[in-house]
Amino acid sequence: MRIDIISVAPNLLESPFNHSIIKRAQDKGLAEIVIHDLRKFGLGNYKQIDDTQFGGGAGMVLMIEPISNCIKQLLAEREYDEVIYMTPDAKTLNQSTANTLSLKENILILTGHYKGVDQRIRDKYITKEISIGDYVLTGGELAAAVLVDAVVRLIPGVIGDEQSALTDSFQDNLLSPPVYTRPAEFDGMKVPAILLSGNFPKIDDWRSDQAYKRTQQIRPDLLDD
């Protein structure tokens, strides 16, 4: 999978992708992540990328021309399965969206800043808008990093133990059951006996039951459908 990200703060995006599983995915050639600095497409001597809004109001808007020029240059090189705009005024990211995106070949992500981008960019180029939750960040970069992490780890071959992505929280709309490792007893606290029993069908049942109970207690909304 190739992921291009257009950003006004590219330095915010370098570190999150250079560690652990996401770095290994790139080293293995399973994911290629390329960051594009919108400032390079800025207008005039000052490389202007934002301006005040028509109709008045506080906050700057990212201008249509630099973004349009950047997107056109990228579209000349490859087709994108999705052109995604990261913005708080969108549907929130969930595991189902991450699963779908992990199967795509090329995706382009545009990250907003300030009051966002000129609406005409959204109307013309954006095929999907994604928020990562009901709160406001200073820019879309951290949200894009969250999206890329959630998607790249699902690309086949990225996580060594295939089973582990399949049994994540949310993969079947349930939270994960509790997990334990050695020692079996610490400061008088014991690991549930069922997990030491070796009875794997029973262990599966216990885990499903725990996952359901945990979901009912913490996120009953997930059980609604």
Q: Which of 53, 29, 10, 43 is nearest to 158 (CA)?
A: 29
In this structure, what token pair is assigned to residue 65?
A: 């021309």
The site string for ligand 6GU over 102-141 (x = CB under 6 A, - otherwise) reads: ----------x------------------xxx-xxx-xx-
Among 38, 88, 98, 126, binds ligand 6GU (CB under 6 A): 88
Is 6 one of the binding residues for ligand 6GU (CB under 6 A)? no
Is there a contact between 86 and 143 (Cβ–Cβ < 8 Å)? yes
Integer angstrom CA distances of residue 66 from 118, 178, 214: 11, 49, 48
Answer yes or no whether residue 189 interacts with ligand 6GU by CB under 6 A.
Answer: no
CB of 146 to ligand 6GU, least distance (A): 8
Helix (H, G, I), strand (E, B) or coil at 183: coil
The DSSP secondary-structure symbol of 51 reads: E
Rule CB under 6 A: say whether 16 interacts with ligand 6GU: no
For residues 4 and 110, give the distance between their C-alpha atoms in angstroms, rounded to a whole number: 9
Residue nearest to ligand 6GU (CB): 143
Report whether 136 belongs to an annotated binding site: yes
Give Cβ neighbours of residue 103 (< 8 Å, ≥ 6 apart).
none
Residue 10 touches ligand 6GU, criterion: CB under 6 A: no
Stretch that binds ligand 6GU, among 27-35, 72-80, 81-89, 213-221 (CB under 6 A): 81-89
- Binding residues for S-adenosyl-L-methionine are 112, 132-137
